[in-house]
């Protein structure tokens, strides 16, 4: 276990069974939080992360909560209440998302609607329905993306969702500031996760090209992002709100 600085806190991490979300769930649990992590379909991945957290001395619960359809936030919080006995929440990490989209010429209306439903609409209503159960002094962290500031026309709709999420962050920070709740965005760059495995791992050229984008000269790890989220979730981050933290390793500067 870690410093126990989040002892007694409840944290919700959407998409907490894989990739960046898995690392965030582990780090918040190591800091003492009871973590409720969501998964869409892969119950085994959710179970495995819970077991790993418990083996490391932490507390975690996995709940199924697919996003992208009307009523998804309501169903998520109903599952949360059932799993926790109606516990209030202190930390919300909106991490779940669709990671890519088509370029403008290939984009369909259905594809556009899907990526916005998961990446934008779901976080909006997850937070809306959390407001009565979110403790004063709480934390909201939205996982954005470096493509919100770096032009990548080949995934234009995805980038647009992350720009919308950053705007949501800014407005929420103003709305919730009176309650001592901080709201921030974290923008990862290229991270070595299962989502990126098909084009990144095992492709030396793609790996080297991705590493070269970063001022630090390497591809990011999920833990690089998780540690930033942990800072924002802790009392150390109490005076940071409405901010977008670049977690790209200085990519495309």
Residues marked active site are found at 158
Strand partners, 35: 11, 60
Q: Are 71 and 64 within 8 A, CB to CB?
A: no
Dihedrals phi, psi of 98, to nearest 5 degrees: -85, 125
- Residues ≥6 apart with Cβ < 8 Å to 249: 189, 214, 215, 216, 218, 220, 224
Q: Buried (b) or exposed (e) across 162-171, using 16+ Cβ within 10 A?
A: bebbbebbbe
d(CA 64, CA 3): 29
Q: Buried (b) or exposed (e) across 49-75, using 16+ Cβ within 10 A?
A: bbeebeeeebebbbbebebbeeebbee
């Amino acid at each position: 276990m870690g410093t126990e600085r989040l002892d007694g806190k409840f944290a919700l991490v959407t998409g907490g069974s894989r990739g960046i979300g898995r690392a965030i769930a582990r780090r918040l649990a190591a800091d003492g939080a009871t973590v409720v992590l969501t998964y869409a379909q892969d119950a085994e991945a959710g179970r495995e992360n819970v077991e790993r957290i418990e083996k490391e001395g932490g507390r975690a619960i996995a709940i199924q909560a697919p996003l992208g359809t009307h009523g998804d936030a309501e169903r998520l919080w109903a599952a949360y209440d059932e799993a926790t006995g109606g516990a209030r929440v202190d930390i919300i990490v909106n991490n779940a998302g669709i990671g890519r989209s088509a370029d403008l010429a290939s984009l369909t209306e259905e594809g556009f609607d899907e990526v916005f439903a998961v990446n934008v609409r779901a976080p909006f209503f997850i937070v809306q329905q959390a407001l009565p159960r979110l403790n004063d002094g709480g934390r909201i962290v939205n996982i954005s993306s470096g493509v919100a500031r770096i032009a990548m026309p080949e995934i234009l709709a995805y980038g647009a969702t992350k720009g919308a999420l950053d705007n949501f962050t800014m407005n929420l920070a103003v709305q919730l500031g009176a309650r001592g709740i901080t709201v921030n965005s974290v923008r990862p760059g290229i991270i070595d996760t299962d989502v990126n495995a098909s084009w990144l791992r095992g492709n030396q050229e793609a790996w080297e090209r991705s590493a070269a984008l970063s001022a630090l000269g390497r591809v990011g790890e999920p833990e690089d992002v998780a540690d930033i989220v942990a800072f924002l979730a802790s009392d150390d981050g109490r005076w940071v709100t409405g901010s977008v933290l670049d977690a790209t390793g200085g990519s495309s500067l």
